[in-house]
């Protein structure tokens, strides 16, 4: 039922407009309330106005959203799995009371600032700092590539303190906080990506997440968003596969539909195999997560495999569409370009390879 509901929403509300939004580099802020109304923001969290759905249900929703566009799934991922999850997992009771219900409803938007221009794969080196000043905190630094940054009401900011990395809830109206949107992206165009500048931002003592210190704070949140991508990438791949299959059945060359050529069938069958395997993998990891058995390494396994295969499916689909494959009249090149970002964010394919390499050999090879 959840899958069908989200699929109908995407068909009615997203697909008729997404080509234009992608071309214009735009995502309407009002989408937040629509997604919130459907219970898709913080869907797998419990209490504080969140639906408490299973991991599999949440995954299915991500798959359907990303079958529309990776930017739409990204919006829901950042809101629910990064910003809301961070507050839900690490926040004080007051922070949860203040932010979670309005964020679940889409009335307030959140973003998650971990990456910096010089510290992407290696966030441990971050320069953004938080120092105590009497009872307050003073934050300085610049975060880069932050999804939803320019439309956020609250930013979850990870900053270096004397006690290691800590997380902070930074309301967007805080003096010294500015967001500058990044223009000229050729991927994830229907998604707001911003630079966040923190210049002597003064925050009360209770802006900090009370307990968590160190990189495990943000990395625990990444597990959640990476999990959604395992499913979401298969949604994008499914749209590419279905588009290519439909096109191949009707496009005639040499007096035959191109679907009748063995080389085209080979491509379609290879796409179908990886789509089926990736979807089953997502379901398997989802069931492990629901059973409390999914470790971060399992999530890396799924993210690495499914995004890599989704991108390959998109590229193959693009070839089947020939010249039509390079226009926004069809969804394939939009998904293909989006998946380049999905391959990079939430841990690049190389980082997930190294995480798995360490898991099987016991030897870290990051440095």
Task: Report residue 306 CA to chain centroid gap.
Answer: 14
- The rounded distance, in Å, linking the Cα atoms of 67 and 134 is 50
Number of helices (H) and strands (E) in the chain: give both, helices first.
Answer: 12, 11
- The rounded distance, in Å, linking the Cα atoms of 188 and 178 is 22
Contacts by 244-251, CB closer than 8 A, 24 or more apart: 244/268, 244/271, 244/316, 244/317, 244/320, 244/321, 244/332, 247/320, 247/321, 247/324, 247/330, 248/320, 251/322
Contacts by 286-289, CB closer than 8 A, 24 or more apart: 286/54, 286/55, 286/56, 286/59, 286/227, 286/231, 287/55, 287/56, 289/55, 289/56, 289/227
Instruction: By CB under 6 A, tell whether 43 contacts ligand TGC.
Output: no
Cβ neighbours of 28 (radius 10 Å): 11
- Considering only residues 138, 215, 260, 288, which one is a binding residue for ligand TGC as defined by CB under 6 A? 215
Tell which positions 190-209 bind ligand FAD, by CB under 6 A. Answer: 193
Instruction: By CB under 6 A, tell whether 112 contacts ligand FAD.
Output: yes
Q: Are 317 and 243 in contact (CB under 8 A)?
A: yes
Instruction: By CB under 6 A, tell whether 364 contacts ligand FAD.
Output: no
Q: Which stretch binds ligand FAD (CB under 6 A): 109-117, 227-235, 298-306, 329-337?
A: 109-117
What does 305 bind: ligand TGC, ligand FAD, none (CB cut-off 5 to 8 Å by kind)? none
Helix (H, G, I), strand (E, B) or coil at 212: coil
DSSP state of 261: S
CB of residue 113 to ligand FAD, shortest distance in Å: 6
CB of residue 219 to ligand TGC, shortest distance in Å: 4
Instruction: By CB under 6 A, tell whether 154 contacts ligand FAD.
Output: no
Instruction: By CB under 6 A, tell whether 147 contacts ligand TGC.
Output: yes
Task: Out of 66, 116, 309, 346, pick the active-site residue.
Answer: 346
CB of residue 55 to ligand FAD, shortest distance in Å: 21
- Considering only residues 176, 296, 324, 337, which one is a binding residue for ligand TGC as defined by CB under 6 A? 296
What does 223 bind: ligand TGC, ligand FAD, none (CB cut-off 5 to 8 Å by kind)? ligand TGC
- Considering only residues 203, 230, 310, 351, which one is a binding residue for ligand FAD as defined by CB under 6 A? 351
Q: Which stretch binds ligand TGC (CB under 6 A): 46-54, 98-106, 122-130, 247-255?
A: 122-130
Which runs of consecutive H residues, i.e. helices, occur in the chain? Answer: 2-9, 15-24, 31-37, 55-68, 70-76, 85-90, 93-104, 216-250, 262-290, 296-320, 332-344, 349-361
Q: Which stretch binds ligand TGC (CB under 6 A): 70-78, 150-158, 203-211, 250-258?
A: 70-78
Q: Which stretch binds ligand TGC (CB under 6 A): 60-68, 71-79, 168-176, 245-253?
A: 71-79
Give backbone dihedrals phi and psi of 44, rounded to 5 degrees, phi first. Answer: -95, 10
DSSP state of 153: S
CB of residue 12 to ligand FAD, shortest distance in Å: 26
- Considering only residues 34, 92, 178, 348, which one is a binding residue for ligand FAD as defined by CB under 6 A? 348
* Count of residues engaged in binding ligand TGC, rule: CB under 6 A: 26
Instruction: By CB under 6 A, tell whether 115 contacts ligand TGC.
Output: yes
Instruction: By CB under 6 A, tell whether 170 contacts ligand FAD.
Output: no
Q: Residue 274 catalytic?
A: no
Instruction: By CB under 6 A, tell whether 21 contacts ligand FAD.
Output: no
Task: Name, in order, each residue with C-beta under 8 angstroms of 267's C-beta and a sequence gap of 6 or more.
Answer: 244, 316, 319, 320
Task: Name, in order, each residue with C-beta under 8 angstroms of 260's C-beta and a sequence gap of 6 or more.
Answer: none
Burial of 298 (0-12, 13-18, 19+ CB in 10 A): buried
Nearer CB in complex with ligand FAD: 132/216: 216
* Count of residues engaged in binding ligand FAD, rule: CB under 6 A: 20
Residues classed as catalytic: 346
Sites of contact with ligand FAD (CB under 6 A): 78, 112-115, 120-121, 145-147, 188, 193, 341, 344-345, 348, 350-351, 354, 366
Sites of contact with ligand TGC (CB under 6 A): 74, 77-78, 112, 114-115, 121-124, 147, 214-216, 219-220, 222-223, 225, 296, 345-347, 351, 355, 366
């Amino acid at each position: 039922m959840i899958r069908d509901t989200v699929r109908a929403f995407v068909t009615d509300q997203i697909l008729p407009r997404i080509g234009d939004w992608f071309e214009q580099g735009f995502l309407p802020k009002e989408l937040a309330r629509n997604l919130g109304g459907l219970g898709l923001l913080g869907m797998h969290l419990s209490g504080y106005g969140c639906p408490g759905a299973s991991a599999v249900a949440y995954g299915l929703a991500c798959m359907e959203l990303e079958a529309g566009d990776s930017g739409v799934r990204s919006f829901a991922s950042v809101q629910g799995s990064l910003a809301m999850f961070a507050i839900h997992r690490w926040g004080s009771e007051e922070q949860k009371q203040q932010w979670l219900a309005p964020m679940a409803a889409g009335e307030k938007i959140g973003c998650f600032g971990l990456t910096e221009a010089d510290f992407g794969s290696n966030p441990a080196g971050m320069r953004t700092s938080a120092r105590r000043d009497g009872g307050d905190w003073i934050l300085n630094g610049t975060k880069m590539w932050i999804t939803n940054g320019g439309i956020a009401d609250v930013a979850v900011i990870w900053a270096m303190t004397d006690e290691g990395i800590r997380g902070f809830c930074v309301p967007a109206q805080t003096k010294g906080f500015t967001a500058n949107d990044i223009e000229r992206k050729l991927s994830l165009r229907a998604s707001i990506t911003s630079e966040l500048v923190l210049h002597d931002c003064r925050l009360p003592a209770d802006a900090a997440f009370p307990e968590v210190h160190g990189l495990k704070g943000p990395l625990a949140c990444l597990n959640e968003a990476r999990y959604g991508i395992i499913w979401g990438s298969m949604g994008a791949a499914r749209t590419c596969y279905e588009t290519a299959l439909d096109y191949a059945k009707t496009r005639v060359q040499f007096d035959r539909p191109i679907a009748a050529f063995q080389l085209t069938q080979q491509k379609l069958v290879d796409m179908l195999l990886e789509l089926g395997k990736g979807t089953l993998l997502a379901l398997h990891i989802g069931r492990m997560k629901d059973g409390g058995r999914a470790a971060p390494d399992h999530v890396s396994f799924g993210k690495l495999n499914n995004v890599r295969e989704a991108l390959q499916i998109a590229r193959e689909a693009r070839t089947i569409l020939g010249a039509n494959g390079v226009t926004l009249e069809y969804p394939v090149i939009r998904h293909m370009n989006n998946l380049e970002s999905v391959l990079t964010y939430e841990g690049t394919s190389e980082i997930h390879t190294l995480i798995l390499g360490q898991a099987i050999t016991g030897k870290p090879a990051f440095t």
